[in-house]
């Protein structure tokens, strides 16, 4: 069949517009929900020696899908493009240790909070320090410019030592040059619980003493998918499955 050039161009433009519109639509109606994560932050999400994406967030999202009645597929996406990819409809949701903030809520919809990843105290095993309320008189390390450093600055009788990178603080803690480290709960779990070179010598004490909640993101207005995720999350939390997952990765 012969097409006039103008007809061909018109059809091509229609197809192009249809493709763009489709690409921007949420994927909640798909049989499989594609979930992006930046798998570079153990123990929340990372790639193990078998090249599998594993971690707290991965186990939690898997349980949410199971209890929410939908299938998921994880996609490893670099952090610097993960939000833009969600907005463009390249995947349906993001679970990647994303802190719920008012700024992000203006552009995306969040699930209900699923964990408080606030600041927590790490000490050498056998220390007399039992939590943030017992740090007076001690020297405490934290990464410069972080919530942890600001929190320690506000503590009475505590000497703050700041570091460019939190790993340096843990090295000084092991060497006895400081008495404790204050950092995000997942970072504390990675050093004190997951790393073989540290876990026999360090321990987490007390509970998180700041509130920094994580949530799962979907496109703005994608209430169908958000409802599915929240239903699954509520079922997981009511059954105590999130606590079991935390026992594996964060305690």
Assign 30 a pLDDT band (cuts: 50, 70, 90).
low
Collapsed DSSP state (helix, strand, coil) of residue 35: strand
pLDDT the model gives residue 165:
86
pLDDT the model gives residue 63:
98
Average pLDDT over residues 214-240: 97
Neighbours of 57 (CB within 10 A): 30
Average pLDDT over residues 150-159: 96
Beta strand 159-163 with 40-41: parallel, antiparallel or unpaired?
Answer: unpaired
pTM: 0.75
Question: Would you say the CATH fold of 119-205 matches that of 23-116+214-249?
Answer: yes
pLDDT the model gives residue 209:
94
With b meaning 16 or more CB within 10 Å and e meaning fewer, what string describes 65-99? bebbebebebbebeeeebbeebeebbbbbbbbbbe
Q: Where are the domains of the chain?
A: 23-116+214-249, 119-205
Name the CATH superfamily for 119-205: Periplasmic binding protein-like II (3.40.190.10)
Residue 11, pLDDT > 80, answer no
Q: Are 179 and 138 in contact (CB under 8 A)?
A: yes
Query: Per residue in 118-154, pLDDT tens?
Result: 999 999 999 999 999 999 999 999 999 888 999 999 9
Name the CATH superfamily for 23-116+214-249: Periplasmic binding protein-like II (3.40.190.10)
């Amino acid at each position: 069949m012969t097409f006039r050039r103008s007809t061909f161009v018109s059809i091509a433009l229609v197809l192009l517009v249809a493709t763009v519109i489709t690409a921007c639509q949420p994927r909640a109606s798909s049989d499989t929900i594609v979930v992006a994560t930046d798998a570079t932050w153990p123990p929340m999400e990372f790639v193990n020696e078998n090249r599998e994406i594993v971690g707290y967030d991965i186990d939690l999202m898997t349980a949410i899908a199971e209890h929410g009645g939908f299938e998921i597929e994880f996609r490893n996406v670099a952090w610097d493009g993960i939000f833009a990819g969600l907005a463009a409809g390249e995947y349906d949701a993001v679970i990647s240790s994303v802190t719920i903030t008012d700024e992000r809520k203006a552009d995306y919809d969040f699930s209900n909070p699923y964990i408080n990843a606030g600041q927590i105290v790490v000490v050498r095993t056998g220390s007399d320090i039992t939590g943030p309320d017992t740090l007076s008189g001690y020297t405490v390390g934290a990464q410069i410019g972080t919530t942890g450093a600001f929190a320690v600055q506000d503590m009475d009788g505590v000497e703050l030592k700041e570091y460019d990178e939190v790993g340096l603080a843990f090295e000084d803690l092991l060497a006895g040059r400081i008495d404790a480290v204050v950092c995000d709960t997942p970072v504390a779990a990675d050093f004190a619980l997951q790393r073989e070179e540290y876990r026999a010598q360090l321990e987490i004490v007390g509970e998180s003493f700041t509130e920094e909640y994580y949530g799962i993101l979907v496109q703005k207005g994608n209430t169908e998918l958000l409802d599915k995720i929240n239903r699954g999350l509520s079922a997981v939390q009511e059954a105590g499955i999130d606590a079991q997952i935390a026992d594996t990765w964060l305690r």
